Amino acid sequence: MIKNIILWVVIAIVLMSLFNNFAPQGERSDSALSYSQFIESVKAGQVQQVMIDEHVIKGKMQGGQMFKTYAPSDPHLVDDLLANGVEIKAVPPEQPSLIMQLLVSFGPMLLLIAVWVFFMRQMQGGGAAGRGAMSFGRSKARMLEEDQIKVTFADVAGCDEAKEEVEEMVDFLKDPAKYQKLGGKIPRGALMIGPPGTGKTLLARAIAGEAKVPFFTISGSDFVEMFVGVGASRVRDMFEQAKKHAPCIIFIDEIDAVGRQRGAGLGGGNDEREQTLNQLLVEMDGFEGNEGIIVIAATNRPDVLDKALLRPGRFDRQVTVGLPDVRGREQILNVHMKKVPASEDVEVKYIAQGTPGFSGADLANLVNEAALFAARMNKRVVSMFDLEKAKDKLIMGAERHTMVMGDKEKKMTAYHEAGHAIVGKLVPEHDPVYKVSIMPRGRALGVTMFLPEKDQYSASKQKLDSMISSLYGGRIAEELIFGWEQVSTGASNDIERATELARNMVTKWGLSQRLGPLAYSEEEGEVFLGRSVTQHKTVAEETSHTIDEEIRSFIDRNYKRAEGIIKENIDILHAMAAALMKYETIDKDQIEDLMARRPVRDPQGWLDIPPRNGHKADDIKDDKIIGGAAEQS
C-alpha cells in the first residue's frame, strides 16, 4: 500500500514539473496594454525600449513605466519601432534541456506503463501484499499474530469431546519438551469433520488463541487458479512462510476443494487440482519434515477426500464436531444470550429442549432473530415470547400475513392439519405434537410440528410406521369430511415423504420380513466425487416387483390404521378444526384439552399477539370450544 502511494506521488510531481516548465512566466507588476495602444504610444514617441520574446512584448516608457502586450504577426512592427527611435532587444528561443526533452518524448509512455503495472498488481493480488507484479504463485494465506486472536475455549460450547481431542495440540505448542523427552510426536494434522455450522472454524481459532502461536488461515479454493502450477506453488510458499514462524498453525477451510479423490471423473487425472493435492501431501509428510507446523483442516464432505490425505503422518486425527445434544445446545445458548439483554422469564433449558437438530450457527441465528423481534416491538429486553417466536420462524418458516385464503381453503387446511395431529398423537412411539397452525408459513399453507422430547439417534420400525400413518392423516381427514372429489393437492409432500420412508425401510434398513436384511438400493455416488461410472448395483426384475409390493403393503397397512383412528375420533377432528379456524395456531396444551374432550384454554401469550381478521383478543377469549360439540365455520 505504501509503495502504491509513493508511485502516485512521483507521477504527480513529474506531471506538475512538466506543466510548470511549459507554462509562460510573467511578471505580475507589468501593466498590460492593448496592441493598438502600444502602436499609438510608439508613434507618439512615448516608448523608450522594448524586448521582444516571440509574441510577447515587454517594454519601458519614457517616464519609466513598465508595460507588457501581446503582438500578432505584424510585418511592419520592427520598421515602426526603428522609425520612432525605440531601442529593440530580442530574446532567442529557449532550448529545453536533454532531461526535459526525454520527459516530453517518453513521459506519456512511462505513465502508461506505470498504470498498467499498477492494475496488474491489483488483479493478481500482489499489490495488496507488496509483492512483484507476477506473483501468481504466492500464498494467499493470511497470518494472524498471537495478539490478534481473542477466541479461547471458553467461547466454544457444545463440543466438549472435540475440545478434549485438540487440547493435546495446545499443550504441545505451549510445552513441546514434555512430549519430546518421552519420544512422543504430536500429530501432524487434525481433520475436523461435521455438518455446516457446528463450529469447526471457531474451534480452530480457539486452538490458536489458547496456544498463543501464529495462525495461518486460507480456504481450499484459494489454491487453485486458471494457470497451471499456481496451486502447487502457493502450497510451497505457504509452508515456507509457516517454517519461518514455527511453531504455528495452518488452518485450511473447506479442504475438499483441493483434497478430492484423485483419478475421479471421466477425464485425465493430471489436472491442476491434483497437482495442488500432490504438493500438499508432500509438504505435510514428505522427504523434508515440517517440525512445529500443525495443519488443521475442516470439511463437511470427508467421504470425497483422498485416502492418502487421511493416513497417519498427515491428518492423524479426525475430530468429529457433530450437532450438539440438549446439554450442548443449552451451553451454546448461554454463550449467545450473554450478548443480549434478557428478561427474567427466559428459560434457556426449555429452548434447548425444543430445538433438536439445531447447530451452533442455528442457535446463534435464533437468538439474533429474537433480538430483532424484541427491537421491532420497541422492547428493552428479550423475553421468552420473543425466543419462542424466533424458534417457530426457524422451524416452521416465516408467517405470511399478507396471504389471504378463502374460507373453504382455510377450512380444508384446518381439517388437514388436525388429521396429522390426531394420528400423530395416538400412534405409538411418535414424537409429541408441538404446535399446529393454519397460518401460511414459507411455502406451506399449514404446519403440524412434531418435536422429540429428547435427542434421538436411531428409530425403530414401530416409530417409522407411526410416522407414515401420521403423514397420511391429513389426506384421510380431507377425504372423510369433504369427499373423494374434493381432496386437494396439499398432501403431495406428505405422500412423497411417506413413500420415501417405506422404500428406505424395505431397500436400505432391512425392515421387511419378506425380503430380509439386504440392501437393494443402487449406489448413489456421483461421477466426479471419486466414484466410477459403471458401479451400479442392480436387482432382478422379480426382486424389483417384490420390492414394490412390500412398499405398497407398508403404505396400505399404515393408511388403514390412520383412517381407523380418525373415524373413531371424528368429534375431536371437528373440535380441533374449529379451534384452528378460531385461533389459527394452537399449542400442545390446547391439543391436550382437545384430545381429552375438555374446554380449550386460551393460547399461551395470546394477549401479546396483534389481533387478526377483525377479532379482538378479548372477544375470542370469552368463547369456549367444547370437544365434540364445536361450531364448524
What is the C-alpha to C-alpha distance for residues 250 and 243, in angstroms, rounded to an integer? 11
What is the C-alpha to C-alpha distance for residues 223 and 447, in angstroms, rounded to an integer? 45
CA separation, residue 182 to residues 176, 185, 293, 314, 580 (Å): 11, 9, 20, 21, 70
The total of other beta-carbon atoms located within 10 Å of residue 424's CB is 24
Closest-CA residue to 438 (of 430, 449, 427, 424): 449
Most distant pair of Cα atoms in the chain: their distance? 134
Catalytic residues: 417
Residue keyed to cell 496456544: 211
What is the C-alpha to C-alpha distance for residues 258 and 277, in angstroms, rounded to an integer? 6
Q: Which three cell numbers stand for residue 285?
A: 509428510
DSSP label at 250?
E
What is the C-alpha to C-alpha distance for residues 195 and 209, in angstroms, rounded to an integer? 23
CA triple 310-313-319, angle to 5 deg: 50
Contact 272/224 with Cβ under 8 angstroms? yes
3-state SS, residue 440: coil
DSSP label at 474?
H
Residue keyed to cell 507521477: 11
Q: What DSSP string describes 606-617? A: GGGSPP-TT--H
- Within 13 Å and on the Cβ side, how many CA atoms surround 28? 0
Q: Which three cell numbers stand for residue 372?
A: 430483532
What is the C-alpha to C-alpha distance for residues 28 and 19, in angstroms, rounded to an integer? 19
Q: Where are the beta strands (DSSP E) in 21-86?
A: 31-32, 47-53, 56-61, 66-70
